[in-house]
Structure 1
Amino acid sequence: MTALLAVARYEFRMQARKRSLWISAVLLGGALVVLQGERGPHHLPLDTPAREVVGTWALLFSILMPLAYGMLLADRLVRDRKLRVEPLLESLPHAPATRLAGKFLGGVAACGLPGLAALLIAVATELPKRHDPALIGWALVAFAVVTLPGIAMVAGFALVCPTLVSVPLFRVLFVGYWFWGNMLAPGLLPSLTGTLLTPIGDYAATWLLGNGATALFAGTPGILPFLRPDPTAATAAASVAVIVLFGLIPLAVAAFLAHRNARQTWPAKA
Structure 2
Amino acid sequence: MRGRFFAVCRYEFRMQIRKRSLWLSTAGLAVLIAVAQGDRGPRHLPAAADAARVMGSWALLFSMLLPIGFGMVLADRLVRDHRLGAASLLASLPTRPGALVAGKYAGSVAATAVPALLVLLVTAAGEFVHRGDPALFLWAVVAFAVVLLPGLAFVAAFALVCPLMFSAPLFRVLFAGYWFWGNLLGPNYLPSLTGTLLTPIGDYPASWLIGERALYAGAPGWLSFLRPEPGGGAALLSVVLLAVLATPPLVFASPLLARRTSS
Rounded to whole Å, the distance in 1 between the matches of 2:7 and 2:94 is 13
Rounded to whole Å, the distance in 2 between the matches of 1:20 and 1:223 is 37
Structure 2 SS opposite 1:38 = coil
Percent identical across equivalent pairs?
A: 56
Q: State the 1:127 CA deviation.
A: 0.5
Tell me the number of residue pairs that the alignment of Structure 1 and Structure 2 aligns: 260
- Counterpart of 2:224 in structure 1: which amino acid? P
- Counterpart of 1:202 in structure 2: which amino acid? D
Q: Show the counterpart of 1:124.
A: 125
Q: Show the counterpart of 1:90.
A: 91
Q: State the 1:122 CA deviation.
A: 0.6
Structure 2 SS opposite 1:176 = helix
Q: Show the counterpart of 2:228.
A: 229
Q: Show the counterpart of 2:41.
A: 40
Q: Show the counterpart of 2:245.
A: 246
Q: State the 1:221 CA deviation.
A: 0.9
Rounded to whole Å, the distance in 1 between the matches of 2:160 and 2:129 is 40
Point out 4+ residue stretches in structure 1 off by more than 2 angstroms. Answer: 257-261
Matched, 1:8 2:26: no
- Counterpart of 2:216 in structure 1: which amino acid? F
Q: In 2 relative to 1, CA 102–195 (structure 1 residues): closer, same or farther, beyond 3 Å?
A: same
Asked if the contact 1:196/1:238 (under 8 Å) is kept, the reply is yes
Q: State the 1:258 CA deviation.
A: 5.6
Q: RMSD of the TM alignment (CA)?
A: 1.5
Q: Show the counterpart of 1:268.
A: none
Matched, 1:28 2:26: no
Q: Structure 1 unaligned runs (5+)? A: 266-270
Rounded to whole Å, the distance in 2 between the matches of 1:240 and 1:50 is 22
Q: Show the counterpart of 1:100.
A: 101
Rounded to whole Å, the distance in 2 between the matches of 1:258 and 1:246 is 18
Q: Structure 2 unaligned runs (5+)? A: none
TM-score (normalizing by structure 1): 0.93
Matched, 1:193 2:208: no
Q: Show the counterpart of 1:171.
A: 172
Rounded to whole Å, the distance in 1 between the matches of 2:161 and 2:237 is 24
Structure 2 SS opposite 1:187 = coil
Q: State the 1:259 CA deviation.
A: 9.3
Rounded to whole Å, the distance in 2 between the matches of 1:218 and 1:260 is 40
Rounded to whole Å, the distance in 2 between the matches of 1:128 and 1:166 is 46
Q: Show the counterpart of 1:217.
A: 216
Kindly provide the CA deviation profile for residues 77-119 of structure 1, in whole angstroms up to 9, marking residues without a partner as x. Answer: 1111111221221111110011100111011011101110110
Asked if the contact 1:194/1:219 (under 8 Å) is kept, the reply is yes
Kindly provide the CA deviation profile for residues 173-204 of structure 1, in whole angstroms up to 9, marking residues without a partner as x. Answer: 00000101000011101111011111110000
Asked if the contact 2:60/2:147 (under 8 Å) is kept, the reply is yes
Asked if the contact 2:164/2:257 (under 8 Å) is kept, the reply is no
- Counterpart of 2:4 in structure 1: which amino acid? A
Q: Show the counterpart of 2:111.
A: 110
Q: State the 1:63 CA deviation.
A: 0.3
Q: State the 1:253 CA deviation.
A: 2.2
TM-score (normalizing by structure 2): 0.96
Rounded to whole Å, the distance in 1 between the matches of 2:232 and 2:10 is 34
Matched, 1:135 2:151: no
Asked if the contact 2:164/2:256 (under 8 Å) is kept, the reply is no
Q: Show the counterpart of 2:161.
A: 160
Q: Show the counterpart of 1:182.
A: 183
